[in-house]
Structure 1
Amino acid sequence: MRTKNMAQIPAKMKALVNHGPHDYRLEMIDTPMPGPNEVLIKVGACGICAGDIKCEAGAKMFWGENPWVKTPVVPGHEFFGTVVAMGEGAEEHFGVKMGERILAEQILPCGKCRFCKSGQYWMCQPHDMYGYQGKIADGGMAEYMLFHPNSVIHKIPDALSLEDAAFIEPMACSMHTTERANIQFEDVVVLAGAGTLGLGIVQAAALKHPKKLVVLDTIEARLELAKKFGADVVINPAKEDALKAILDMTDGYGCDVYIEATGNPRGAVQGLEMTRKLGRFVEMSVFGADVTADWSIIGDRKELDILGAHLGPYCYDTVISLLERGLITSKGIVTHTFDLDHWKEGFETAHGKDAIKVILKP
């Protein structure tokens, strides 16, 4: 095993550990050591995702009859760090060196299923997921983190700020969502939800130069950021009839593309109403509750294309390049930083309306 300095890697490390809904604890646990083709990083920062908030709160999608989350597990999937130790063969396996800043995509694909073999690794059938699947895939809310041999690793230029580096994973998800929308020059695009992922989508969609980019949110500060990032029109549905506004600007037809990024069931129902016939509806949110809608809208009334968006496959290197060139940014999106000792305050802040992206810095 190669290490930067073994004496600097403690036997125990501070980590947030998920033991179940409403049962997250800050603990001292064993620092993982890399085996063959494994890499240990010193975590630089880890974002708190809406999924992390809903997981801690006991959302059904995480804690159903057969819980998807395998506890105990260190949460956190929006991480990056510096290589401090490598197991035998890891340098050649990943093409990384000691001291480099890297991240791993949150999914751990098996490499053997039909999806992996066809290049669709992000939909791997038996996959593990960093931050959710027990000791197999502990996440980044800890001082150190182990990247396993089947990790999908990307290098981070030294020029990127800590905030930009922590923004890479959510921005990759935003870019993949934008690609799924297949935005054309003549499209009127409506994005519902200007949180971290939504504001990433605004930036990516603006680079596609649609005819009109409209952003919906109930928080004025987020709408102001959306305008800064390229939105042509912003609407606060709490103050204005958003459906009427979209119909008025499209001669009564509705938008060509609707991207749902609120995580609120109403956002999904609104999108079905707002999208024109033969339009495209893209769903990328994590919901804490079931969504009930009139599905006849999808088929009999409008013949909509309903598209999902999962993770950020094949987007990381592009996101890193765009960040490096200043074409997208985390400025204004990363609003709060906490250390691990104050993780509770971090989660509470992330759940509130004054924050957009909250990161933990071990």
Structure 2
Amino acid sequence: MPATTQDGDHEVENRSAPTSDRTMKAVRFHGKEDLRLEDIPEPKCGAGQIKIIPAWCGICGSDLHEYIGGPSICPTTPHPITGESVPLTFGHEFSGVIEELGEGVSDKFKVGDRVCVQPIIYDGTCGACQEGLINCCNQNGFMGLSGWGGGLSEHVVAPEYAVYKLPDNVGLDVAALVEPLAVAWHAVNASPFKPSDSVLILGGGPIGLSVIQALRARGCRQIIVSEVSAMRKRYAKEFGAHHVLDPTKDDIVARCRELADGQGVNLTFDAAGVQAGLDQAVLALRARGTHVNIAIWEKRCNFFPNDLVFREKTYMGVATYVKGDFQEVIDAISDGRLDMCKKMITKRIGLDEVVEGGFKALIKDKDNQVKILVRSSGEI
């Protein structure tokens, strides 16, 4: 008997969905620089599950890291919850349309509903989960990285708790941005942010731009961005940054002090994960300021605790999002507080273009891309 995850009134089997004798197209990660568009069995919809035709799926920085140097997040031995290991279907930032409801799914969903998927996989039983911190689960994973299928496919099955209905005024393309926006939304929620604060953001990529939008939605007094790319600097300004600095030309620490009452900024958000940026950000903080690390680092960094100790600064890490963040982001898109998000989409491609038009474009043309969306199915 497979183990189950308890989530409210639903139990989700901790294994991959059973498959039918029909096949579908899916982009599968086999290893470093090895992505393949393959024919694989189409999943069946089980009890407590919802079967979805994916519409749009974003390519995330985590996907790119796996492609360039993985597997690191993707399991090479059976994942403790999904039971799956590479090769795995990619795609955890996706939207779609419900095509089938499993037994026991609540009547708030119906076939044809437009939805997006919150991809965290969690056991529901560990201490973190019992405290509501599903993003900190001891065995956590992600749809599209750890099993249970992903958005870069023609069909996917998800547990009911992962599925969120979309308002009529939120398009399926924009809905594929809810996941990265939720990462930023959670980072701001978890931090000690106040609207009167001055804030420095490291990096103007998808997460950095999402942090700008989350801060702007909350009425942040002063948003400063540190970014090298000319295009991303333009985006940062357009998305609501009050000041955009270039770390290759500007003294970030001196400029932050100058712009923030001679004391430095209250908060720094690291969406870049590079040594020079970390060094600058910690020194740019005022006394009792907080550095918030969102970035996933590719390698260990050097850190000198005294840079925090003598001015009582705080270093905190944040991971993805918690229950409630997805719905708050959907609501903020719908009511206009995140009205700029659609401009993050810089390219749209088909499922058969994922490697050349997607992953390689993000490597070779990084400065001109923010978010590449993949049309996962021609059926919508």
Q: TM-score under structure 2 normalisation?
A: 0.85
Shift of residue 348, structure 1, vs aligned partner: 1.5
Asked if structure 1 preserves the Cα contact closer than 8 Å seen for 2:31 and 2:70, the reply is: no
- 1:104 is aligned, of 117, 121, 145, to 117
Shift of residue 66, structure 1, vs aligned partner: 8.1
Asked if structure 2 preserves the Cα contact closer than 8 Å seen for 1:59 and 1:289, the reply is: no
Q: Which residue of 1 aligns with 2:66?
A: 55
- 2:126 is aligned, of 98, 106, 113, to 113
Shift of residue 28, structure 1, vs aligned partner: 0.6
Shift of residue 54, structure 1, vs aligned partner: 0.4
Q: Which residue of 1 aligns with 2:8?
A: none
Q: What are the within-5 Å matches in structure 2 for residues 343-362 of structure 1?
A: 343-344=354-355, 345-351=357-363, 352-362=366-376
Spell out, residue by residue over 1:270-320, the C-alpha distance to the aligned partner (whole angstroms, 9 max, x if none): 212221221100000112222222222122x23221111111222111111
User: Which amino acid letter does the alignment assign opposite residue 104 of structure 1?
Assistant: V
Larger deviation, residues 55-64 vs 232-241: 55-64
- Looking at structure 1, the residues matched to 171 and 96 of structure 2 have their Cα atoms a distance apart, in angstroms, of 12
Q: Which residue of 1 aligns with 2:296?
A: 286
In structure 2, relative to structure 1, the CA distance for the partners of 1:32 and 1:227 (3 Å cut) is: same
Asked if structure 2 preserves the Cα contact closer than 8 Å seen for 1:265 and 1:290, the reply is: no
Residue 311 of structure 1 pairs with residue 324 of structure 2: no
Asked if structure 2 preserves the Cα contact closer than 8 Å seen for 1:281 and 1:305, the reply is: yes
- Looking at structure 2, the residues matched to 123 and 138 of structure 1 have their Cα atoms a distance apart, in angstroms, of 21
Aligned-pair RMSD on alpha carbons? 2.3
Shift of residue 67, structure 1, vs aligned partner: 10
Asked if structure 2 preserves the Cα contact closer than 8 Å seen for 1:265 and 1:287, the reply is: no
User: Which amino acid letter does the alignment assign opposite residue 120 of structure 2?
Assistant: I
Where does the alignment leave 5 or more consecutive residues of structure 2 unmatched? 1-19
Asked if structure 1 preserves the Cα contact closer than 8 Å seen for 2:95 and 2:173, the reply is: no
Q: Which residue of 1 aligns with 2:286?
A: 276
Residue 221 of structure 1 pairs with residue 231 of structure 2: yes
Spell out, residue by residue over 1:80-125, the C-alpha distance to the aligned partner (whole angstroms, 9 max, x if none): 1111112222245xx3111101222111222222222222222222
- Looking at structure 1, the residues matched to 67 and 358 of structure 2 have their Cα atoms a distance apart, in angstroms, of 13
Asked if structure 1 preserves the Cα contact closer than 8 Å seen for 2:224 and 2:241, the reply is: yes
Q: Which residue of 2 aligns with 1:131?
A: 144
- Looking at structure 2, the residues matched to 226 and 211 of structure 1 have their Cα atoms a distance apart, in angstroms, of 15
Larger deviation, residues 104-113 vs 52-61: 52-61
- 1:82 is aligned, of 97, 107, 119, to 97
- Looking at structure 2, the residues matched to 120 and 56 of structure 1 have their Cα atoms a distance apart, in angstroms, of 28
- Looking at structure 2, the residues matched to 71 and 160 of structure 1 have their Cα atoms a distance apart, in angstroms, of 34
- Looking at structure 2, the residues matched to 159 and 272 of structure 1 have their Cα atoms a distance apart, in angstroms, of 41
Residue 20 of structure 1 pairs with residue 31 of structure 2: yes
- Looking at structure 2, the residues matched to 130 and 83 of structure 1 have their Cα atoms a distance apart, in angstroms, of 17
Shift of residue 239, structure 1, vs aligned partner: 2.5
Shift of residue 247, structure 1, vs aligned partner: 2.3
Residue 161 of structure 1 pairs with residue 176 of structure 2: no
Q: What are the within-5 Å matches in structure 2 for residues 170-249 of structure 1?
A: 170-249=180-259
Where does the alignment leave 5 or more consecutive residues of structure 1 unmatched? 1-8
Q: TM-score under structure 1 normalisation?
A: 0.89
In structure 2, relative to structure 1, the CA distance for the partners of 1:159 and 1:252 (3 Å cut) is: closer
User: Which amino acid letter does the alignment assign opposite residue 213 of structure 1?
Assistant: I
Shift of residue 218, structure 1, vs aligned partner: 0.8
Asked if structure 1 preserves the Cα contact closer than 8 Å seen for 2:75 and 2:146, the reply is: no
User: Which amino acid letter does the alignment assign opposite residue 81 of structure 1?
Assistant: G
- Looking at structure 1, the residues matched to 89 and 172 of structure 2 have their Cα atoms a distance apart, in angstroms, of 21
In structure 2, relative to structure 1, the CA distance for the partners of 1:306 and 1:61 (3 Å cut) is: farther
- 1:40 is aligned, of 51, 67, 76, to 51
Shift of residue 152, structure 1, vs aligned partner: 2.5
- Looking at structure 1, the residues matched to 27 and 300 of structure 2 have their Cα atoms a distance apart, in angstroms, of 29
Asked if structure 1 preserves the Cα contact closer than 8 Å seen for 2:252 and 2:280, the reply is: no
Q: Which residue of 2 aligns with 1:6?
A: none
In structure 2, relative to structure 1, the CA distance for the partners of 1:338 and 1:190 (3 Å cut) is: same
Spell out, residue by residue over 1:246-281, the C-alpha distance to the aligned partner (whole angstroms, 9 max, x if none): 122235422111110113233222212221221100
Is the partner of 2:69 in helix, strand or coil?
coil
Q: Which residue of 1 aligns with 2:15?
A: none
Asked if structure 2 preserves the Cα contact closer than 8 Å seen for 1:180 and 1:282, the reply is: no
In structure 2, relative to structure 1, the CA distance for the partners of 1:156 and 1:357 (3 Å cut) is: same
Shift of residue 60, structure 1, vs aligned partner: 7.9
- Paired-residue identity, %: 27
Asked if structure 1 preserves the Cα contact closer than 8 Å seen for 2:116 and 2:176, the reply is: no
Asked if structure 2 preserves the Cα contact closer than 8 Å seen for 1:59 and 1:288, the reply is: no
- Looking at structure 2, the residues matched to 90 and 158 of structure 1 have their Cα atoms a distance apart, in angstroms, of 22
User: Which amino acid letter does the alignment assign opposite residue 359 of structure 1?
Assistant: L
- Looking at structure 2, the residues matched to 332 and 237 of structure 1 have their Cα atoms a distance apart, in angstroms, of 25
- Looking at structure 2, the residues matched to 53 and 42 of structure 1 have their Cα atoms a distance apart, in angstroms, of 23
